[in-house]
Structure 1
Amino acid sequence: MNPTPTVLNTFQLRDYNDLDWKKVLTLLIIVALFIRFPFFFRDYVDRDESTFILMGQSWVDGHLPYTQLWDLKPPITFLYFAIIIKLFGKSFFAIRFFGTIMVAVTALFTYGITRKIASKKIAFWVAVFCVLFQSLFGSLQGVMSEHICTFFFVIGIYLVVYKRQWGWYLLAGLLFGCAIMSKLNMAYPVLTLGIYFLSEGFAKNTLSRSIRNLFFMGIGVMLMVSITALPYYLQDNLYVWWESIFEAPLAYSGGKYHSPVKTLPFVFIVLGLLITGFAYKIIDFKTREAQLLTVVIIGILLSFMQTGKVNGHYLIQLYPFILIPLGVAFGKLPKLKKSYRPLVIALLFLIPMESYLEYVNIVSNKIKKGSLYNGEGIDVPNYILKHQLDTKNIFFTEYHIGYWVLGETPPTKVSIHPSNITRDELFSDLDNPRNSGMEELRYIMETIRPNIVVARKGKTIFDKKLVSYNTYIDAYLEEHYRLTATVGRGLIYQRLE
């Protein structure tokens, strides 16, 4: 399909038709590095990333996930961090660099999928915006479980778009299995894909081939799931694997603060855009590729409804598949007038404003403190080491990446992520001696009795809704601790006795 005069002509590359995958990947890596590079030096961008780093470090130290430390995600998310730490040591730079490469490769395969239904120009800009949307607007500059699962899933979709042989479906199944074992909600789009392949077989009288391909795809998924279970089976810990990966997430999604109703406005908006595109024939629903994208989007939306909320980083899973039809739609708009082009170009350059601000931040930190690395998750541990405070018994209620910087572990397996303590619905699946969050918190404060507690200035230790937790720990800190130092927004408390 040759490029047509469209809004995308505003940005002129001379050789769209000469672009090969190597050139596209190179350009995407350059864009991703420019946007994400200043965040390589941040202590953390999202608290979940800090948790994944600690889980990866625990695995490197010889402990399977969920045994020494516990978190809600499946093990392949932690495997990414464990591999990076094993190869490069404690390196924020390496973790974020390879995350950047992962984002660029995800965008490359999004480009490949788009090429099936649109021109190279449209595909290229869809890929560029895929990088932008996976890297900006919130806490997306770190490496999230959504980045990892989307990486595997997009490659799997690319294979089923271009390939029809059973061997490729087996490989796609392995990739889908990796996606599910990175973030469990990806089982929903895999399920809707399976339903689509069956219906396609009925509609086109190719049912036997569809069943065969679906069978091998299912084999790939189950094989990957089984591989993650094998180490636990060999250690006679299979029940830990099952409870942590399958039962705990179901309990979490059924928590009192999660409701499918909260996701409905977002779901209706996305589905409304798709229906409008099909109704006005902006998107050709008759094509197999458009149908595949639709069932994937529906599957992801169903997973959001089951989870009962739509956090900003959840949208990483959706962006590649929603950007493709949006790119096709924009490609059919009339060519922009020349007078509007400077405005559009200016808006494009303003999109990475978060990155520009972070470049200023790291330069400022270098001038003031002599290091590009910044944030209380780094500054607080540095203060503790400089003043020779006891690091052996420490409790981070905030900035818990500090455990990694100090080479310490959280006081209990559940307290790796501070919010885990308050999730009462999870405790039945944690293989934990305590049965409730308050019991766990009392055990930490009254039995383990941390010598140092780190909190954040201007923020309650736990969610504002959790009045009983905040009342207890505030009173306990007031009676048994003194505020030793304030480092940035980090509060360092030392035990009195």
Structure 2
Amino acid sequence: MLNRLIKTLSPNYNDLSNKGVFFVLLSIATLVRFPFYFRDYIDRDESTFILMGQSWVDGHLPYTELWDLKPPIVFLFFAGIIYVFGKSFLAIRFFGTLLVASSAFFTYRIGEAMCSKKVALWAAMAAVALQSMFGSIQGVMSEHLCMAFLMPGLYLLIRPGKWWRYLGAGLLMGLAIMTKLNIAYAVLFIGIYLLFYFFRRKEYTTGIANVAFYGLGILLVIASTWLPYYLEGKPGVWWKSVVLASMEYAGSRRSSMLNLAPTFLVLTAFFLFTWRKKYLNFKDVKIQIVSVAIFGVLFSFAKAGRINSHYLIQLHPLLIILVAIFISRLQFPKKWIHQPFLALLLLLVPAESYLEYYRIIKYKIERGTFYNGEGITVPAYLAKNYPSEKNVLFLGYHIGYWPLGAVPPTMAATHPSNICRNELFPYFDNPRKTAIEELAYIMGSVRPKIVVTRKNRLVFDEKLKAENRYIDTYLKKHYKLVSTVDLANIYQRLE
């Protein structure tokens, strides 16, 4: 594999094959992400996606047994893996690696069409790194799936062709929307740009037809996710959970625009500088389309009023293409880009992966397995000491429901933080109106025999003082601490 990697990265970039490039990107993505395959969870959202996917495999459409604030294609992706491979962290993380390699590959194809194979390859490798490191993005996030659809859709649009390209792009864009609803802004902006492009060229009939095929593809995917609910007589479930709840969440969780100021200032400076100095040719239709997609993503960030490492996954594969073209046209990097210290720098970038390799090897030596985390050790403890007990509430490490074969006690408890999102309760017809009412129902009516919390951590966000006070008081009165497994406290009900 190393010989092939070296050969692919040789100075003769014109000899690169698409298969060879994809192999290199998949190899890099695997090397960087592999040590994280064995964690119980890397981000809590990934745990929720797994639980929702398992519920679908068990015969329950999303939002009917369990509930989470994501479009259904996310859960379909996880359900498909679980259906074929069973309860396998390894399979889920591997397919996550394929998503990263796939979106990076289309970063390469777009960059190749805009500049050169050399620049495109370096951009693609950077895209792998930016989707795999720096924060809790080594897991399988909805943004990874979204970009695996968006990037090939964008590639179809930058290569002029017949109507089927626009239909295919629309289908892929529809899939992207049904994994991350905020990407709809980028998809909409691209559609508006296409109309202006064709009208500017006075290709009215062709333009309207192509944009219509683009829109048709989007609508077909959206309709296909609604159809199962219609067939089961529950069309309102889809509408409230996918559309209305997302709109409510975006409005209620909005943060200050000051949080976005540094990112927006840097990117504004980048676009202005590269335009004025002509490092990027903004008359090039391909650069225009990529730029419009970037502006659409940034607009969605502005609407949400916040950015985190997950959101940036939607920006990096697009932006890195323009950054790579810009760097390639500067003079000073050419003097040192092939120097040994650059190779050393590239080796040092995945420091998080090296540390994780060390950690799992140490864990294997100490405990005899690579699989680690309270989401694995706690269910193992419960299966041994309470073999028939399924009435469990995970207020931390909620991926533990999965290996234990249990389900969260209520729809609101699918993700522990959802218990405190009162504004979302109406969208899954929760009869309780507040977080305190939901907690009172779970603890007083469902009466879980076992409760799992994080050791030395508040159960909920520190701002939620009443909710934390309620659960702490209830646990002290009605439960006893029976064990601490790693960093998890396990409580057993007294009566």
TM-score under structure 2 length normalisation = 0.96
What is the match of residue 310 of structure 2? 313
Shift of 1:139: 1.0
What is the match of residue 44 of structure 1? 41
Q: Cα–Cα, structure 1 residues 321 and 446, in superposed 2: closer, same or farther, change >3 Å? A: same
Q: Does 1:371 align with 2:377?
A: no
Give 3-state SS (helix, strand or coil) of 2:481's partner: strand
Q: Does the Cα contact within 8 Å between 1:166 and 1:216 map onto a contact in 2? A: yes
One-letter code aligned to 2:399: I
Q: Does 1:422 align with 2:426?
A: no
Give 3-state SS (helix, strand or coil) of 2:74's partner: helix
Q: Partners of 1:12 and 1:170 in 2: how far apart? A: 35
Shift of 1:258: 3.3
Shift of 1:256: 4.8
Q: Does 1:67 align with 2:77?
A: no
Q: Does 1:482 align with 2:487?
A: no
Q: Partners of 2:53 and 2:181 in 1: how far apart? A: 18
What is the match of residue 451 of structure 2? 453
1:98-137 equivalence runs, <5 A: 98-137=95-134
What is the match of residue 354 of structure 1? 352
What is the match of residue 55 of structure 1? 52
Q: Does the Cα contact within 8 Å between 2:375 and 2:399 map onto a contact in 1? A: yes
Gaps of 5+ in 1: 1-10
One-letter code aligned to 1:477: L
Shift of 1:74: 0.3
Give 3-state SS (helix, strand or coil) of 2:340's partner: helix
Residue among 480, 489, 492 paired with 1:491: 489
Shift of 1:263: 2.6
1:92-491 equivalence runs, <5 A: 92-256=89-253, 258-334=255-331, 335-337=333-335, 341-388=339-386, 391-491=389-489
What is the match of residue 78 of structure 1? 75
Q: Does the Cα contact within 8 Å between 2:390 and 2:405 map onto a contact in 1? A: no
Q: Partners of 1:264 and 1:489 in 2: how far apart? A: 37
Give 3-state SS (helix, strand or coil) of 1:374's partner: coil
Q: Does the Cα contact within 8 Å between 1:244 and 1:430 map onto a contact in 2? A: yes
Q: Partners of 2:257 and 2:69 in 1: how far apart? A: 20
Identity within the alignment, % = 51
Residue among 11, 18, 23 paired with 1:21: 18
Shift of 1:336: 4.5
Q: Partners of 1:270 and 1:68 in 2: how far apart? A: 43
One-letter code aligned to 1:358: E
Q: Does the Cα contact within 8 Å between 1:456 and 1:491 map onto a contact in 2? A: yes
Count how many residue pairs are aligned between Structure 1 and Structure 2: 487
Q: Cα–Cα, structure 1 residues 413 and 18, in superposed 2: closer, same or farther, change >3 Å? A: same
Shift of 1:194: 1.1
Shift of 1:269: 2.2
One-letter code aligned to 1:300: V
One-letter code aligned to 2:394: F
- Please report the RMSD computed on the Cα atoms of aligned residues, expressed in angstroms: 1.5
Q: Partners of 1:169 and 1:336 in 2: how far apart? A: 38
Q: Partners of 2:464 and 2:62 in 1: how far apart? A: 28
Q: Cα–Cα, structure 1 residues 239 and 428, in superposed 2: closer, same or farther, change >3 Å? A: same
Gaps of 5+ in 2: 1-7
Shift of 1:359: 0.6
What is the match of residue 6 of structure 1? none
Give 3-state SS (helix, strand or coil) of 2:313's partner: helix
One-letter code aligned to 1:149: C
Deviation sequence 1:116-152 (CA, Å, 0-9, x none) = 1211111001011111111111111111000001110
Q: Cα–Cα, structure 1 residues 216 and 493, in superposed 2: closer, same or farther, change >3 Å? A: same
What is the match of residue 7 of structure 1? none
- The structure 1 segments of at least 4 consecutive aligned residues displaced by more than 3 Å after TM superposition are 256-262, 335-340
Deviation sequence 1:180-225 (CA, Å, 0-9, x none) = 0111111100111011111112322223322111111001100110
Shift of 1:268: 2.9
Give 3-state SS (helix, strand or coil) of 1:317's partner: coil
Q: Cα–Cα, structure 1 residues 201 and 337, in superposed 2: closer, same or farther, change >3 Å? A: closer
Moved more, 196-205 or 317-326: 196-205
One-letter code aligned to 2:14: N
Q: Does the Cα contact within 8 Å between 1:260 and 1:307 map onto a contact in 2? A: no
Shift of 1:340: 8.7
TM-score under structure 1 length normalisation = 0.95
Give 3-state SS (helix, strand or coil) of 1:116's partner: helix
Shift of 1:257: 5.3
One-letter code aligned to 1:209: T
Q: Does the Cα contact within 8 Å between 1:240 and 1:431 map onto a contact in 2? A: no
Q: Cα–Cα, structure 1 residues 85 and 201, in superposed 2: closer, same or farther, change >3 Å? A: same
Q: Partners of 1:346 and 1:100 in 2: how far apart? A: 24
One-letter code aligned to 2:191: G
One-letter code aligned to 1:157: L
Q: Partners of 2:366 and 2:31 in 1: how far apart? A: 24
Q: Cα–Cα, structure 1 residues 339 and 262, in superposed 2: closer, same or farther, change >3 Å? A: closer
One-letter code aligned to 1:293: V
Shift of 1:68: 0.2
Q: Does the Cα contact within 8 Å between 2:53 and 2:78 map onto a contact in 1? A: yes
Deviation sequence 1:370-423 (CA, Å, 0-9, x none) = 111001111111111222365311111110000001010001011010011111
Q: Does the Cα contact within 8 Å between 1:482 and 1:493 map onto a contact in 2? A: yes
